[in-house]
């Protein structure tokens, strides 16, 4: 996934504001939606905390989960499921929503379903892979920084 980053470096630089804001908004939407849904369905606090980092790559997600008081093995399972779902359904869902822009697609898939999801972009567009790869890193950082304060505000 590094080669598409190098090949599309100029585009990444041109759209850095969109990428940064998209990663932060995607992170916030993910944290808030999974927290509220899990609470609505009666999940315990420990399960809720385990689900929060589901859109981050597994090693980072497990550390975030442990830091929040979640169950890292449960987090790992949810991360894997999220990635598989994103790889299988991400492009179809975005197409149904009318999203055609490679930057938007790469950002959405990278922010929501990490490397497994971005791997599905390889057959579509190098730009999707580049944007998705960068989104993985940005969302990992944003989730590590924002998850605890957002959960505190939601409680």
How confident is residue 3, by pLDDT bands cut at 50, 70 and 90? confident
For residue 107, which of 77, 79, 86 has the smallest C-alpha distance? 86
The 10 Å Cβ neighbour count of residue 137 is 14
Q: What is the pLDDT of residues 57-79, one digit of tens each?
A: 999 999 999 999 999 999 999 99
Q: Identify the band that residue 1 occupies on the pLDDT scale cut at 50, 70 and 90.
A: low
Express as a percent the part of the chain with pLDDT over 70.
99
pLDDT per residue as tens digits for the range 6-30 = 888 898 889 999 999 999 999 999 9
Neighbour-count burial for 20-47, b at 16+ CB within 10 Å, e otherwise: eebbbebbeebbeebbeebeeeebeeeb
Q: 117 CB contacts (<8 Å, ≥6 apart)?
A: 82, 83, 86, 87, 90, 109, 110, 132
Select from 105, 102, 126, 99 the least CA-distant residue to 117. 105
Dist CA 56 CA 112 (whole Å): 8
Q: Which tokens go with 3?
A: 């080669």
Query: What pTM does this model have?
Result: 0.90
Q: What was the pLDDT predicted at 7?
A: 87
How many CB atoms within 10 Å of residue 19?
22
Reply yes or no on whether the pLDDT at 2 is more than 80.
no
Task: Dig out the tokens for 71 from the structure.
Answer: 């169950």
The string of DSSP letters for 44-66 reads: -HHHHHHHTTTTS-HHHHHHHHH
Q: Tell me the pLDDT of the chain averaged across its residues.
A: 94
| Domain spans in the chain, listed from the N-terminal domain onward | 2-154
């Amino acid at each position: 996934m590094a080669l598409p980053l190098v090949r599309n470096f100029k585009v990444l630089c041109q759209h850095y504001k969109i990428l940064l804001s998209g990663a932060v908004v995607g992170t916030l939407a993910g944290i808030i939606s999974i927290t509220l849904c899990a609470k609505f369905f009666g999940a315990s606090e420990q399960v809720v905390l385990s689900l929060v980092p589901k859109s981050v790559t597994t090693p980072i997600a497990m550390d975030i989960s442990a830091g929040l008081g979640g169950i890292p093995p449960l987090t790992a399972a949810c991360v894997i499921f999220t990635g598989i779902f994103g790889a299988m359904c991400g492009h179809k869902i975005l197409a149904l929503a009318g999203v055609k822009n490679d930057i938007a697609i790469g950002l959405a898939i990278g922010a929501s379903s990490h490397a497994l999801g971005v791997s599905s972009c390889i057959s579509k567009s190098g730009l999707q892979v580049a944007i998705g790869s960068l989104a993985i890193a940005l969302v990992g950082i944003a989730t590590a920084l924002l998850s605890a304060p957002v959960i505190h505000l939601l409680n």
